[in-house]
A and B are shown apart, each in its own frame.
Chain A
Amino acid sequence: MKIPRFSRKTLCIPYAVFLLFFVLVPMLVILLFAFTDDAMHLSFENFIKFFSDPTKLSTIVYSLVIALVTTVVALLIAYPVAYILAQSKIKRKYVILMLFVLPMWINFVLRVNAIRELFNLISQVEGLDGLANANYFKTIFGMVYDFLPFMILPLYTTMMKIDKSLYEASADLGAGGFTTFARVTLPLSMPGIMSGVTMVFLPSMTNYVVSDMLGNAKVTIIGKFIYTYFGNDWHMGSMIALVLLVVVFLSTWLTGGFKADETVRGTNL
């Protein structure tokens, strides 16, 4: 009996099918719906409507700003953590790292709900009651909390990969602590920063569960819009999704996300 032999090509088929039906076809459907009207005739009405509606454009701006603030805050918190962890000589530092990653083992909707309750508790304290209506603050807090591990992990792995002898060389050449950091550590951890930034920035533009639960649904980001429009107008919903896709594509391209040689990105988890 002849044993069927699988070449590498045949092993690719399942992935190709998956990509086709769950990535490519849905995108084409979005494209189709974005440029058609209810009777499924070609129409640019939604396109024009979108770009002439200050509310939708403002929402894109708001989402970008919220995502940007989230990313910056997450980076400011994550960078020292990753740096200290990578530098320190303590044993079992993976335990500390694990503590940061641990929350990811629980579904984030549950965690966001828990934060919501925490904020409710805190805002009952005299003097802190302003917190109840600090919707933007709470939203950004929730997003930073949610995405922090995605920032720490790539930074940590990149920094671990930096050859320790480079620091010695830098010291030998007379560089102080700050100069070493600025001229050796920072440039070499750039791929990690880029990777972390993409992994935090892009999803926070659409993470409307957080803005609904912590922002009391008074903070509206573009993801929520897509959701609401898909309730009764798929065509406009698709148009918004398409615009978002373009924005995401642009920012990934600009930060160099499509380069194949960057092994750091995404693969280090």
Chain B
Amino acid sequence: MNLKRISSVLLASCLLLPTLGLLAGCSDEEVTVLKIYNWEEYIDDGGEGSYLYDLALEEGVPEDEIEAPRIIDDFELWYEETYGEKVEVSYSTFGTNEDMYNELKLGNVYDLLCPSDYMIMKLANETKEDGSPYLVQYDESFFDPSVETNYYIRNVSPYIQQQFETNAGLDTPAGEPKWNEYAAGYMWGTTGFVYNPGYVNAEDLEKSGWQTFVDPAYKGKITAKDNVRDTYFAALGLTFEGEKDGLSQLRERFSAGELSQEEYTKAITKIFNATDDETIAKVEPRLMDIKENIYSFETDTGKADMVNGTIWLNYAWSGDAVYALDEAETPDFDENGEPIEGSELLLNYYVPEAGTNLWFDGWVMMSDVVERGTKQAAQAFVNFMSRPDNAMRNSYYIGYTSVIAGENGEMLDYVDWLYGNGEENEEDFYDLSYFFGEETGTAGIYADEEQRTCRQLYAQFPPEEVISRCAVMDYYRKDANDRINELWSRVKAETLDAWAIIVICLVAVAIVLFIVFVKFGGKIDFFRTKPKKGYHRVNK
């Protein structure tokens, strides 16, 4: 026997030993795997630029000693400490609500999802292939504020909670489950314009509202979103802003006290969710006008184009707006690490007066949690994310606004830390009482005028007045979905006249026939010329 060979085999198996140990370790203890499916870049990922990192930096901890773990790692530790069981988070991400929906339709199973409002409605109303529901409601105990670890219900902003309850009530036809019963909020915000004050005048914007999209002054300098929902919404705003009984008039009547908040919200929600043929016929030419006037349809290039000056106006979600504002005002650094003068750019955020979209991303549990035994862990995850310090971490990292207010208004300190000017001038007071469920004038921060009217603070924590004129988007039911899709194709693509299509088709057919003739004509007797007398054809 070859000694060398035996020893090498032995050595190789020694290398495998540790793996065996690992395998054994696994089977000893059951580890719950919690499968989470969230938006890309929508959670604190630790490291440089995260909340904990910047906080430590501010306290003077040297850079290389700062520990800023990922929030998911912290959750795993916290869960084991609190519940005495191990949990392992398997975290994956999606880019659009539709991508997520397709994954579910294909039968992929997750425990927690974080879709937007309309997708939650859709999921709540639909069932899987086998007829079982997609989603499951939270336990009643989840909403019991007396339990210490029920951070969500203890800390969620009562105002936001109530806003979504009202809106869900408005949207949901009788008999369909209310979508807010399935969801625990995560982030929320508005949509509006990020603009470059160097080129765009705030007063002009206020005057033109949604008409900004078709203002020739901004031709080729403004962007719309490359998805039908947001752009259709904007076009609805554009179409019905100046109409009789349209958005502007409704707003005036609301300001004059003729309409109650509920009546007003109901009326604009109806306008912003209209998908009937008549409305589509009205909106279509306006969408074409938008296409004509804008620089591009974009999903994520808008931020960069704003910062480098290619465009002046970018229709954006408030969280992206905050990110763009932050990014633009950070100066570039030269090779010595010194900021380059003039490389920073101040951008602003503006919400159309006539009303805009109030949106909301929330955690929902797939019905499979029951069978998988992960319901407790899923709810614990939502609770952990809702603890004010964690909500701050996430919000700081991604720029979006958390639904969490904090039971003692912890979020207010955070907002003050971020945007406060440290003075206590009466006229600098920015009222956020509504968000914290306090009486008007009692909860707020002192901030500079820009912050209060057009910068990050305004984008991230809009004043109550802005939210009062917002509408939540419903999902498109089957018929509406088809109509809207067709509309979107017509908008995105160029449509030729019928005669042109017919001519082109005929030409195409002619070309095909010609090629066929050239290729195979020689093999068909009909096309062959007769051979000369005395010759005969030899077939190969």
A residues with CB within 8 A of B: 38, 53-59, 61-62, 116, 120, 123-124, 132-133, 212-213, 216-218, 220, 224-225, 228-233, 236, 250, 254, 256
B494 near A58 with CB under 8 A, answer yes
Given A132-B310, A250-B512, answer yes or no on A55-B489 (Cβ-Cβ < 8 Å).
yes
Residues from chain B with a CB closer than 8 A to the CB of A256 are: 519
Nearest B residue to A217, CB-CB: B297
Shortest distance in angstroms between A262's beta carbon and chain B's nearest beta carbon? 14
What's the least CB distance linking B356 to chain A, in Å? Answer: 22
Contact pick for B494, options A62, A124, A231, CB 8 Å: A62
Known pairs A218-B291, A218-B296; A233 contacts B482 (CB<8 A): yes
Q: Please report the C-alpha to C-alpha distance between residue A53 and residue B489 in the assembled complex, in whole angstroms.
A: 10
Interface string of B283-299 (1 = CB under 8 A from A): 00000000100111110
Contact A254 B515 (CB under 8 A): yes
Q: Is the CB of B482 within 8 A of A216?
A: no
User: Which of A54, A216, A233 lies in contact with B296, CB distance below 8 A?
Assistant: A216
A–B pairs, 19, beta carbons within 8 Å:
A54-B496, A55-B489, A55-B490, A55-B495, A58-B496, A62-B494, A120-B305, A123-B310, A132-B220, A216-B296, A217-B297, A217-B492, A225-B493, A228-B488, A228-B489, A228-B492, A231-B96, A232-B101, A232-B485
Contacts of B308 in A (CB 8 A): 120
Residues of B within 8 A of A (CB): 96, 98-99, 101-102, 220, 226, 291, 294-298, 301, 305, 308-310, 478, 481-482, 485-486, 488-490, 492-498, 501, 504-505, 512, 515-516, 519
Point out the residues of chain B lying under 8 angstroms from A230, CB to CB. 102
- A233 touches which one: B309, B310, B481 (CB < 8 A)? B481
Across the interface, name the chain A residue whose C-beta is closest to B101.
A232
Q: Is the CB of A58 within 8 A of B310?
A: no
Q: How far is the CA of A236 from the CA of B481 in the complex (A)?
A: 12
Inter-chain contact B496/A61, CB cutoff 8 Å: yes
| Bound-complex Cα distance A132 to B516 (A) | 43
Given the interface pairs A58-B494, A59-B493, A254-B516, the reply to whether A132 lies near B295 with Cβ below 8 Å is yes
Q: Are A220 and B486 in contact, CB atoms less than 8 angstroms apart?
A: no
Residues B297 and A54 in contact, CB atoms below 8 Å apart: no
A228 vs B102: C-alpha distance in the bound complex, in angstroms? Answer: 12
B501 touches A57 (CB 8 A): yes
Quick check: B296 and A217 within 8 Å, CB to CB? yes
Q: Which B residues are in CB contact (< 8 Å) with A213? A: 301
Complex Cα distance, B515 from A256, in Å, reads: 11
Cβ of B301: which chain A residues have Cβ within 8 Å of it?
116, 213
Point out the residues of chain A lying under 8 angstroms from B291, CB to CB: 218
User: Which of B309, B498, B515 neighbours the largest number of chain A CB atoms within 10 Å of its CB?
Assistant: B515
Given contacts A54-B497, A231-B102, A233-B482, 7 further A-B contacts (CB under 8 A): A55-B490, A116-B301, A218-B296, A225-B493, A232-B101, A233-B485, A254-B519
Contact A212:B226 (CB < 8 A) given known A53-B486, A120-B308, A250-B512: yes
Chain A positions within 8 Å of B497 at CB level: 54
> Cβ of B489 and Cβ of A218 under 8 Å apart?
no
Is A61 touching B504 in the complex (CB atoms < 8 A)? yes
A179 vs B430: C-alpha distance in the bound complex, in angstroms? 83
Cross-interface CB contact of A216 among B96, B297, B515, B519, cutoff 8 Å: B297
Q: Is the CB of B485 within 8 A of A229?
A: yes
- The one of A58, A124, A133 that contacts B501, using a Cβ cutoff of 8 Å: A58
Closest to A236 in B: B485
A residues near B515, Cβ cutoff 8 Å: 254
- Considering the complex, give the chain A residue whose CB is closest to the CB of B305: A120
CB nearest neighbor in B for A221: B493
Residues of chain B lying within 8 A (CB to CB) of residue A232: 98, 101, 481, 485
The residue on B at minimum CB distance from A250 is B512
Q: How far is the CB of A67 from chain B (nearest CB, A)?
A: 13
Q: Are A225 and B489 in touch, CB under 8 angstroms?
A: yes
Q: Are A216 and B98 in contact (CB under 8 A)?
A: no
Q: Are A120 and B512 in contact (CB under 8 A)?
A: no
Contact of A224 among B492, B494, B496 (CB under 8 A): B492
Q: For B501, what are the chain A residues with a Cβ–Cβ distance below 8 Å?
A: 54, 57-58, 61
Of the candidates A56, A62, A124, A133, the one whose C-beta lies within 8 Å of that of B489 is A56
In the bound assembly, the distance between CA atoms of A158 and B292 in angstroms comes to 46
A38–B105 Cα distance when bound, in Å, is: 12
**C-alpha gap A229/B495 in the complex (Å):** 17
Among A54, A123, A220, A254, the residue within 8 A (CB) of B498 is A54
3 closest Cβ pairs, A-B complex: A216-B296, A231-B98, A217-B297
- Which residue of B has the minimal Cβ distance to A64? B508
Give Cα distance in the complex from A266 to B493, angstroms.
33
Instruction: Write the nearest CB–CB distance from A222 to chain B, whole angstroms.
Output: 9
CB distance from B98 to the nearest CB of A (A): 4
Nearest A residue to B514, CB-CB: A254
A213 to B226, CA, bound (A): 11
Q: How far is the CA of A58 from the CA of B295 in the complex (A)?
A: 23
Q: Chain B residues with Cβ under 8 A from A233's Cβ?
A: 481-482, 485
Closest to A54 in B: B495
Q: Are A254 and B98 in contact (CB under 8 A)?
A: no
How far, in whole Å, are A232 and B227 apart by their CA atoms in the complex? Answer: 12
Q: In the complex the two chains form, what is the Cα distance from A232 to B98 in whole Å?
A: 7
Q: How far apart sit A141 and B293, CA to CA, in the bound complex (Å)?
A: 23
Bound CA span A123–B220, Å: 12
B388 to chain A, nearest CB (A): 36
What separation, in Å, do the CA atoms of A236 and B220 have in the docked complex? 32
A57, A225, A230 pick with most chain B CB within 10 angstroms: A57
A220-B494 in contact given A61-B504, A228-B488, A230-B102 (Cβ < 8 Å) = yes
B295 touches A217 (CB 8 A): no
Minimum distance in angstroms from B507 CB to a CB of chain A: 10
B482 touches A218 (CB 8 A): no
Residues of B close to A228: CB separation below 8 A:
485, 488-489, 492
Question: Are A220 and B492 in contact, CB atoms less than 8 angstroms apart?
Answer: yes
Q: Are B485 and A218 in contact (CB under 8 A)?
A: no
Check B295–A133 contact: CB distance below 8 A. Answer: yes
Tell me the bound Cα distance from A120 to B497 in angstroms.
33
* Identity of the chain B residue whose Cβ is nearest the Cβ of A132 in the assembled complex: B220
Tell me the bound Cα distance from A222 to B294 in angstroms.
Answer: 22
Chain A residue contacts of B102, Cβ below 8 A: 230-231
Chain A residues within 8 Å of B496, by CB: 54, 57-58, 61
Residues of B within 8 A of A59 (CB): 489, 493-494
Question: In angstroms, how far is the closest chain A Cβ from the Cβ of B82?
Answer: 39
Closest B-chain residue to A240, C-beta based?
B489
> Which A-chain residue is minimally distant from B220 (CB atoms)?
A133
